[in-house]
Amino acid sequence: MSITINIPSALRPYVKGQSTIEAHGQTVGQALDFAEQQHPDLAKHLRDDTGQLRGFVNIFIGQEDIRHLDGEKSPLSNGDALTIVPAIAGGAS
Amino acid sequence: MQIEKHLAEQLRAHAEATYPHEAVGILAGHRKDNLVLQTVPLQNEHQQAHNRYQVNPLAQWQAEAELEAQGLEVLGYYHSHPDHPSQYSETDRKLALPNVNYVIIAVQFGKSHSIQNWRLLEDRSAMEEHPFIETNSPSKETT
C-alpha cells in the first residue's frame, strides 16, 4: 500500500531535497525499510548500529506516536502519512 | 549562519529569562543564504532542565509546520548552557542531526556571554564550529 512520509528539514538532503517521499509497506517498519532502500543515507541517522530507531527519532502515524501503538510493527492503511520528527534534545551534561 | 542583531538579542534574552534552566527554540529562515529571519522559543520539558533540554515532539512538529506554511525553513535550533561553556557536549552530539545549525548560548550567573554555532559531521563523530555572524541590517520579513 502507498504511504507518504514527511521528511524533516535536517534529513531532506538525503532524499533529494524533498519534504515528502512515497513509500510502500504493510507496517511502519516496512515503509521505513522501503524509504531507506530508496535513500540509503537516511538509515544511519534514523537507526543506531544495531538497526534500532535512535531514541530521539519520533515517528507518527497521523498524530499518533508509534511508541503508543506497536512500534515499527504498527499496521498501516493505504494513504497513511508517516511523519519523522527528530526530537530537539541535548544539554550541557 | 547570519542573524540580525535584534534576533540574536532575543536569543540572549530567552536564555537569561530561563536561567538557571536551559532555553530552547528554533531558528528559521532560508537555506539558500543561511540567514535567520525568525526565532521561535519552545518549552523545555526535560525534568533536569538545568543541564538538559527536550521539546514535546508534537509541539515541535506544529511549530515547524507553521514556519513552513510561512515559507520559512528550519535552519537549526538554539539552546542555552547555564553556567557552562558554549562548547557542545557529548549529549548534544549524540542527539544531533547533520545539515542543521545548533547554536549554544552560554549563560553565567544569569548573564549571557559567548555564543557558538555547531554542526554535526556527516559521520556523527563530532560537531564542528561554524560562523555565527550578527548583522545590522533590518529584515522586512521578520515578525
List the single residue in A with minimal CA-CA distance to B30.
A9
3-state DSSP call for residue A58? strand
Give the confidence band of B142 by pLDDT, cuts at 50, 70, 90: very low
Where do the structural domains in chain A lie, given as residue ranges? 2-86
Give the confidence band of B138 by pLDDT, cuts at 50, 70, 90: low
Q: Which residues of A touch B46 (CB under 8 A)?
A: 89, 91
The 10s digit of each residue's pLDDT in B5-38 is 999 999 999 999 999 999 999 999 998 999 999 9
Q: Tell me whether residue B128 is one of the annotated catalytic residues.
A: no
The 10s digit of each residue's pLDDT in B46-75 is 999 999 999 999 899 999 999 999 999 999
A83 grid coordinates? 511523519
The 10s digit of each residue's pLDDT in A40-61 is 999 989 999 999 999 899 999 9
Give the confidence band of A92 by pLDDT, cuts at 50, 70, 90: confident
Nearest-neighbour CA in chain A from B73: distance (Å): 7
Q: Which of B4, B22, B66, B90 is catalytic?
A: B22
Q: Per CATH, the architecture of A2-86 is what?
A: Roll (3.10)
A 10 A CB-CB count for A40 gives 10
Which listed CATH number (3.40.50.150, 3.30.300.30, 1.20.1250.20, 3.40.140.10) goes with B2-113?
3.40.140.10
Surface of A (14-73) touching B: CB under 8 A: 19, 44-45, 56, 58, 60, 63, 65
Alpha-carbon gap, residue A85 to B99, rounded angstroms: 15
When pLDDT is averaged across residues A85-92 and rounded to a whole number, the result is 91
CA dihedral (B107, B72, B35, A41) in degrees, to 10, reads 90
Alpha-carbon gap, residue A41 to B106, rounded angstroms: 33
Does residue B119 surpass a pLDDT of 90? yes
Alpha-carbon gap, residue A53 to A70, rounded angstroms: 14
| Residue A86 forms contact with B (CB below 8 Å) | yes
When pLDDT is averaged across residues B86-107 and rounded to a whole number, the result is 95
Where do the structural domains in chain B lie, given as residue ranges? 2-113
Query: Taking CA A43 as the corner, what is the angle to CA B99 and CA A78, rounded to the nearest 5 degrees?
Result: 105
Quote the pLDDT of residue A93: 82
Is the CB of B92 less than 8 angstroms away from the CB of A90? yes
A18 grid coordinates? 524533498
